[in-house]
Structure formats: C-alpha cells, structure tokens
Amino acid sequence: MPRFAVFGLGYTGLRILNTLQKENTVVGVSRATQAEGSVLLDLSDSSALEKFRKENEGSLFDASLITFPAQKLENREQVFDTIFSISKSVWMFGSTSIYQRITSDITEKTPLDPKHDRYETELHFLKKGGKILRLSGIYGPDRNPANWARKGSVKKTKRQLNLIHGDDISEAVRLLLSYPGNDLPSELILSDGQWHTWLEIFRFLEDHGKIQVVPEEKMDRDDSFIDSSLIRKFLPGLQTKDFWGELEKLEELI
C-alpha cells in the first residue's frame, strides 16, 4: 500500500488527508492540528525536524505534499532537505496569483512575477526536483465567495473569478499521487475551468435577496482566465464541481 505524507493540516490539508486515507497509508504533519493518522511537529523546530527525519529515513514516503506557504518559514532550506530526504517525490501547493497578468489566458507557460513572495522559494523547490500544483482561489464550506461580497472585500465588476472547490483539490491530489507514468510536468495549474465574473455573482446574490443591490464598478486590476487544460490531459478522469450549484448549497437555496 502506498505511503504518503501531508505537511500542513489546514483547510485543504485535512481534506486531502481524509481522502488519501481511504486507499493509502498516510501521515499528516501539523504544528497544531491533530487528526487520526497525524503527528504534531513544529517544522520551525530544528531539533524536532531532525528527529522526524531520522524516524522516517528507513522507510521513504512514496510522495509528500506541502500544503502551507513554505516561504514563510525561516528554516525552509532544512524543511525542504528533510522532506526530500524521506520522500521519493515531493509536491507543493502554489498560487496562480504568481503569474503575470499579461495575456487574457494564464497557462503553465505564462511568466511568473519575480516580485511575488513565493517566487524565490518556488524556484529553489523546483531546482531540488519538486513539483508544484498552483491553485486558483479555494472555495467550499466555510469559504463561501458570497461572504467576500458581503464583507466588501471584493467589488461588483466584470472581473473573472478563478476558483477551485476544496473537495476537487483533494481528488486532483489523489489522482496525481497515483499517476502511473513518469511524464508529469513539474508545474501544473488547477482551477474549475468555469467562467464566472463578480458581476454575475453579485447579481445572483441580489436576485435572491442575499445582499443589498449595489452599483457596478470599474475593474481595478488586470483580469485573466486560468486555463487548467494541461492537468486534465494527464488526469482525464478529473471532474470539478459546478460553481453555481455549489453556491446555491452554500447559500442554502437548495
């Protein structure tokens, strides 16, 4: 049975841990969150990290996944060295916000923004042989896009909203870690591939009396559509949830 490690048990990490445990041996690693099949480990603690490495160097993980923003760790070099030393392959989550908005569509070939806070860390990670799955905006239970509109953190504009449901991330990771070939690219993008603008979302919520009607505003930043067609070529069975149907569930309209 394959053996995996999930580092970081936040919103996505817990879902991935639960999904992978159905068919695999999985160890979850978190500083504060404990769940079945997980261990508590503060990755910023050098001695604890070294102890964890020694405990697992005799039986390599088939794959490890880093779900948290690694660039925030001061000892990220030690963290990377440790995870790579005990894993046959290593994946890390990234964000599609790292791509430059210079074309209407964003793909894996779109230039990265060298000023992004993840840039240097991701380049170093790739040089070590890691693979990155860059995610669009994550939504789902407890991450309702309608709440972003209610709080005023987004504007009623024609700006494209690129999203991916938390459950779809778990399924994509399951498929990637069980992929039988050796030809997966080192960088992949994951989004639901659906077109929806904040203007449409605001109008939907207004029509259902969920928010007050507000005037449309001009776009305040560049807009691009996240194209996730490449990952679907490698994972043809990957399905993603219908956004409007999920929004109705989150708003308890069905």
Please classify residue 254 by burial: count the beta carbons closer than 10 Å to its beta carbon, then call 0-12 exposed, 13-18 middle and 19+ buried.
Answer: exposed
pLDDT at 223 (0 to 100) = 77
* Spatial separation of the C-alpha atoms in residues 74 and 80, rounded to whole Å: 12
What does the mean pLDDT of the chain come to? Answer: 95
How confident is residue 222, by pLDDT bands cut at 50, 70 and 90? low
pLDDT at 37 (0 to 100) = 82
In sequence order, the β-bridge partners of residue 133 are 93, 188
Q: What is the pLDDT of residues 152-190, one digit of tens each?
A: 999 999 999 999 999 999 999 999 999 999 999 999 999
How confident is residue 221, by pLDDT bands cut at 50, 70 and 90? low
pLDDT at 183 (0 to 100) = 95
Of 168, 161, 129, the closest CA to residue 226 belongs to: 161
Q: What is the pLDDT of residues 21-72, one digit of tens each?
A: 999 999 999 999 988 889 999 999 999 999 999 999 888 999 999 999 999 9
pLDDT at 36 (0 to 100) = 86
CATH classification of 3-138+165-193+225-240, choosing from 3.40.50.300, 3.40.50.720, 3.40.50.20, 3.40.50.2020? 3.40.50.720
Tell me the domain boundaries of the chain.
Answer: 3-138+165-193+225-240
152 Cβ contact list (under 8 Å, min separation 6): none
User: 104 versus 94: which is more confidently predicted?
Assistant: 94
* pTM of the predicted protein model: 0.94
* DSSP per-residue letters across 216-241: -----S---EE--HHHHHH-TT----
How confident is residue 1, by pLDDT bands cut at 50, 70 and 90? confident
